Amino acid sequence: MSKKRNLLLWTPRVLSLLFILFLSLFSLDVFEGNYGFWGTALALFMHNIPSLVLLGVLLIAWKYKLVGMVAFALAGLAYLIMITSSNLASGRFEFYMLSYSFIISGPAIIIAILFFVSWRNELKVKG
């Protein structure tokens, strides 16, 4: 296997794992509250639902790269739409707020593009 093909194969997978870990860091704020054991466990689970969904998507995308492309692109776009509509509804939308949302949606869209490039490279090798 060539180095380029190996890099195209592993880059979206490794970045997906790092992105999921990054999202999981936001759930650590549940330990600041005084919820008790079961309350904290439930809050931790609730905060990690997006990470668990993306982990499931990654497991499927490990074999089917197009699933990873579509799912990560939709996740990034859904986050952008959610943040924009939330700010519009509250009447406090400013364009600079979009740059903040790219911290989460940007890596997801980049990972989607990398899954697409990996899939296209696989087609070229087979065909």
Identify the band that residue 2 occupies on the pLDDT scale cut at 50, 70 and 90. confident
Q: In the chain, what are the domain boundaries? A: 3-126
Longest distance between any two alpha carbons in the chain, whole Å: 59
- Write down the pTM of the prediction: 0.88
What per-residue confidence (pLDDT) applies to 47? 94
Digit-coded pLDDT (tens) for 7-22: 888 999 999 999 999 9
Output the average pLDDT for the chain. 91
Rounded to whole angstroms, how far apart are CA atoms 36 and 67?
A: 39
Query: Six-digit token pair at 64?
Result: 């089917």
Could you report the per-residue pLDDT of 53-80, keeping only the tens digit for each? 999 999 999 999 999 999 999 999 999 9
